Amino acid sequence: MLTESEPHYRQPLLKTPFHDRARALSQVDSFIPWSGYTTVDVFTTVEQEYFAIRNATSIYDLTPMVKYRIAGAEATRYLNRLMTRDMARLVSGRVAYTAWCNDSGHLIDDGTVFCLSATEYRLCTGERQLDWLLTSAVGFDVEIEEVTEEIAALSVQGPTSCAVLKAFGLEGVERLKPSELAHFTAPAVLALEGPLMVSRTGFTGDLGYELWMRPADAERVWDGLMEEGRRRLIRPIGSRALDMARIEAGFLLPNVDFVSSGHTLRIGTDRSPLELGLGWLVDFKKGHFTGRRALLEEQRRGPRRRLVGLDIEGNEPALNALLYADRTGRRQAGSVTSASWSPTAKRNIALAMMDAPHIERGTTVWAEIYLNRELVWERRMARAQVVERPFFSPERRRATPPADY
């Protein structure tokens, strides 16, 4: 927040309300910028943090997610024209993952829409979008304002996360179904200034919740969770561990798996939701939405390329690897956008943008991986197979109520 005495040019990155707590627990002092905030990359080690997500409970500071309040009599109609999904079906108390496009059907961004009431929504996105949101608002009775700084957010994810929240005092949180949201009264001892909104959402593909609160309550919530979660091995995590989990879950990251069509400069680098495997978010049967015409045409024409999952031989992550149709590496078939060793699936996995003939499940391609052997570089052509995403989707992600630990 820009509330300290230093002028803004001396503090080019904002600090989230959790910053002091995070700094105290950071062992390697690894911070990175995210949407204008400084955030933790790694607290201790990536592996330790990753296993907190999959085996215990992780907490992750989500405050820099860009948040917009969208309210007004025509908010639903507005969102329906903006988004590729049918927002009229999103009822109060639910959250929807959705995407939005420009006129040519190219993805501007994806994000989640929280339906707070029939006339009020909250949109969470990776990047700032006010220009496009306002452009889309012409002719609609709707008000849009950015509320990123007004809302602190903490993601609590992992198999014991529900148990931690219950222990923390959120009675009935176990009844929240995936993509539902509810307001809770935190235990009186915390003396919070405002209510706590909890949604069963997340970026890990695991059982998990996201907590939305006033910045003034942030540290008290953090402290309470750390205290109650101690027995269940709660651990703060940074962006790198989350990245491993989100690749396993098959989620997209802007500027990694796609570049927003609002930012691209080169021809042919825009991506449509159909190309990104988000066709299930595109509802041609609802009313008009921006990009519909172009997407229909693309669907008629058939895909030129598609984002697919890859299972690659060996255990070296195929970071930024070029992909070829044959082992000789003469015909390029695509390129890797995200890659990781998956400790849970025990597979070497990647997300890759693949040209049309190579998008079918079971297709074999070859990944050109460069290996650093004590500064002696080796090139390896590793066999890779197009496989289904997500790579990991445990039953506990969906179970309601979740198992108690």
Partner 1 sequence: MSASESRRNAGRYDCIVVGGGHNGLVCATYLARGGRSVLVLEAAERVGGAAATQEFWPGFKVSSGAHLLHLMPEALMRDLGLGARGLRLAAERMPTTALSVDRAPLWVDAANPSALAMLSSSDAIALPKYSALLRRLGQALQPVFEMTPPRLGTDSWQDRLTLLRLGMRLRRLGRRDMRELLRIGGMCVYDLLDEYFETPLLKGALGLDAVLGTNLAPRSPGSVFTLLYRMAAGSALSVPRGGMGAVSDALAKAAVDAGVVIRTGAPVERILVHEHRAAGVVLESGEPLLASVVISSADPKSTFLRLLGPEYLDAGFVRRVGHLRARGLAAKLHLALDGLPQFSGLDVSALRGRLLVAPSSDYIERAFNHSKYGEFSEAPALEVTVPSVADSSLAPTGKHVLSAIVQYVPYELTAGDWDLHRRRLIEAVMRILEAHAPGIRQSVLAAELLTPVDIERQFRITGGHWHHAELALDQFLMVRPVPGAAQYRTPLDGLFLCGAGTHPGGGVMGIAGRNAAREVLKSRARATMSIQDGGLTC
Of residues 38 and 125, the one with the C-beta less far from partner 1: 125
DSSP letter, residue 188 = G
- The token duo for 158 is 């992992």
Q: How far is the CB of 297 from partner 1 (least distance, A)?
A: 12
Q: How many residues bind partner 1 (CB under 8 A)?
A: 17
Q: How far is the CB of 87 from partner 1 (least distance, A)?
A: 13
Using the contact rule CB under 8 A, the part of the chain among 110-118, 129-137, 326-334, 380-388 near partner 1 is: 129-137
Of residues 33 and 139, the one with the C-beta less far from partner 1: 139
CA angle centred on 361, ends 298 and 106, rounded to 5°: 25
**Maximum distance among all Cα pairs of the chain, rounded to whole angstroms:** 67
Number of H helices, E strands in the chain: 8, 20
380 burial via Cβ count (<10 Å: 0-12, 13-18, 19+):
middle
Start-to-end Cα distance in the chain? 37
| Cβ–Cβ under 8 Å, residues 334 and 365 | yes
Cα 209 to Cα 58: distance, rounded to the nearest angstrom: 10
CA angle centred on 242, ends 84 and 146, rounded to 5°: 50
Q: Would you count residue 102 as binding partner 1 (CB under 8 A)?
A: yes
- Considering only 277, 291, 334, 402, the residue that binds partner 1 (CB under 8 A) is 291
Of residues 36 and 139, the one with the C-beta less far from partner 1: 139
Between 247 and 286, how does the x/- string for binding to partner 1 read (CB under 8 A)? ----------------------------------------
Q: Would you count residue 106 as binding partner 1 (CB under 8 A)?
A: no
Cα 43 to Cα 62: distance, rounded to the nearest angstrom: 15
Q: Would you count residue 136 as binding partner 1 (CB under 8 A)?
A: yes
Q: Would you count residue 163 as binding partner 1 (CB under 8 A)?
A: no
Cα 105 to Cα 50: distance, rounded to the nearest angstrom: 35
Q: Would you count residue 85 as binding partner 1 (CB under 8 A)?
A: no
| Cβ–Cβ under 8 Å, residues 344 and 248 | yes
Q: Would you count residue 129 as binding partner 1 (CB under 8 A)?
A: no
- Considering only 34, 50, 132, 168, the residue that binds partner 1 (CB under 8 A) is 132
Using the contact rule CB under 8 A, the part of the chain among 74-82, 116-124, 173-181, 273-281 near partner 1 is: 74-82
List residues binding partner 1 (CB under 8 A).
Answer: 77, 81-82, 102-103, 132, 135-136, 138-140, 287-288, 290-293
